[in-house]
Structure 1
Amino acid sequence: EILDYEAELKGYKRIYTPKIKVLHHQNVATNQVYTNLVEKTLFSNKCNFESTSYFLKLMKENEGV
């Protein structure tokens, strides 16, 4: 969402094509580091909080742009 937001602000064009496939392996690296579910959940929540906080700050800085 942050990338799309910044592209929109800068007037960049985005295209969609079903020919491109993105392979995303959910939590593979995280699962290798965190075997404890509580620690993994805390880590994931911390990352989500930081990302959301950055996005909110970015949107606030660009109000009225």
Structure 2
Amino acid sequence: LLVDLLGDSNLSEPILRKVTQFRDLLEKMLVLDPTRRLSLNEALQHPFITERMSATSENDVQVS
């Protein structure tokens, strides 16, 4: 399915990893059974979110 979504493009490893993590997060958030669905706290701990937040905070520029 991932290949179908992305086509035959040669994506770099970091971008492919992010796309895969995003897809995993969406699948877990869209589970119909609420007992199996990802909770808000679990979603916030997902690698797609935590790695993105970490990269954002590292790139923040302080303005004085």
Structures share fold, TM-score greater than 0.5: no
TM-score interval w.r.t. the shorter chain? 0.3 to 0.5
TM-score by length of 1: 0.39
Larger Rg: 1
